[in-house]
Amino acid sequence: MSERLDVLRLGYRKGRDPRITTHLALVARAMGADGFLLAGDEDKEMFDNLNSVSDRFGGQLDTNHVGGLSHLKKHVESGGVAVHLTMYGEPFRKAIPKIRRDRPVLIVVGGAKVPGDVYKICQYNVAVGNQPHSEVAALALFMDAWFGESASEREFDDARLIIEGVNGGKLVHDLEDDSE
Ligand code: SAM
């Protein structure tokens, strides 16, 4: 287990990609990230929605607006590990065993255009296949491999709502509802 893992979304444009960015944050939370950092436009409403998911389904996802490159540089200069997800990188299953886990880890995902400096500042440029696809898919596959099966099976101790998955229906346990 690494000391801390945050996901940094670069180049967020409010009004253009809120849904995909929300999905990124939801994957980050569900699969065990400690924080979700947004570089680009500010979006308080998105953070409120994410906090509401954590209130109901548990876990604590810190949400913050940061400067993209400046935050990345500060993270690396202070001894952190930065992993950039990019189709131009090294295959993720080969890269993961080499990545240090004893430092805070920042997973960087791009938006429309990724500045060239990101490739240089990050110690690891990692590909989830070398085809262009989605940052959401890349993050989910990377985190599942990083944490092992525990990522997609994660449960949160402080959850109020617990979903019991069953074939052909769903069971929702509301731990604050005495009538259940
Ligand atoms: N054209 C953009 C650029 O300048 O690199 C990339 C756009 S892509 C839709 C958005 C993000 O998805 C990328 O920055 C990267 O983080 C992620 N991504 C897409 N395909 C990937 C892959 N095969 N492996 C890892 N990450 C990927």
pTM of the model: 0.92
pLDDT in tens, 128-161: 999 999 999 999 999 999 998 777 778 888 888 8
- CB of 135 shorter than 6 A to ligand 1: yes
Residue 179 has pLDDT above 60, yes or no: no
Compute the distance from residue 109 Cα to the ligand 1 centre, in Å: 7
Residue 85: predicted pLDDT: 98
Compute the distance from residue 129 Cα to the ligand 1 centre, in Å: 11
Which numbered atom of ligand 1 lies nearest the CA of 109? 16
Could you give the CA distance from residue 140 to residue 73 in angstroms, rounded to a whole number? 24
CA distances, 3 to each of 80, 81, 84, 105, 128 (Å)? 10, 11, 18, 8, 23
Reading the block at residue 26, the tokens are: 């939801």
- Please provide the average confidence, as pLDDT, over all residues in the chain: 91
- CB of 20 shorter than 6 A to ligand 1: no
pLDDT tier for residue 42 given thresholds of 50, 70 and 90: very high
Compute the distance from residue 168 Cα to the ligand 1 centre, in Å: 35
pLDDT in tens, 93-116: 999 999 999 999 999 999 878 999
- CB of 129 shorter than 6 A to ligand 1: yes
pLDDT tier for residue 2 given thresholds of 50, 70 and 90: low
